[in-house]
Amino acid sequence: MRRFDILITLSKIPSMHFISEELEDYIERHSEKEPELLAALNKETYQKILLPRMLSGHFQGRVLSMLSKLIRPTNILEIGTYTGYSALCLCEGMQERVAAHH
């Protein structure tokens, strides 16, 4: 199967929506705006990566960021980094002079 054939096949896969449109609207109205860097990474992932749906995304990223800001970790180890979106979200709450490993 050529890459072009794979792309056509993947485009026929229905989008995966696990929550209602009303709940998604509520989440969007009450969530922190996606930071510019993460929005750019999100866009680039969808433009260049074969399976972009694996990206954590805006809402999951804001939850990870909030949890990280509450915990204020000194170290973060993320296993299975995809394009780095969730790792960057986790780093938002890190204390200064710390390390992130992926």
For residue 82, the model assigns a pLDDT of: 85
What gap in Å lies between CA 19 and CA 90, rounded to an integer?
A: 24
Q: Answer whether 41's CB lies under 8 Å from 62's CB.
A: no
For residue 20, the model assigns a pLDDT of: 87
**Nearest CA-CA partner of 76 in 66, 85, 59, 88:** 88
Average pLDDT, the chain: 80
> Band of the pLDDT at 6, cuts 50, 70, 90?
very low
**Nearest CA-CA partner of 57 in 36, 44, 81, 38:** 38
> Band of the pLDDT at 101, cuts 50, 70, 90?
low
- The first and second tokens of residue 79, run together, are 């296993």
Is the pLDDT assigned to residue 17 strictly greater than 80? no
Is the pLDDT assigned to residue 87 strictly greater than 50? yes
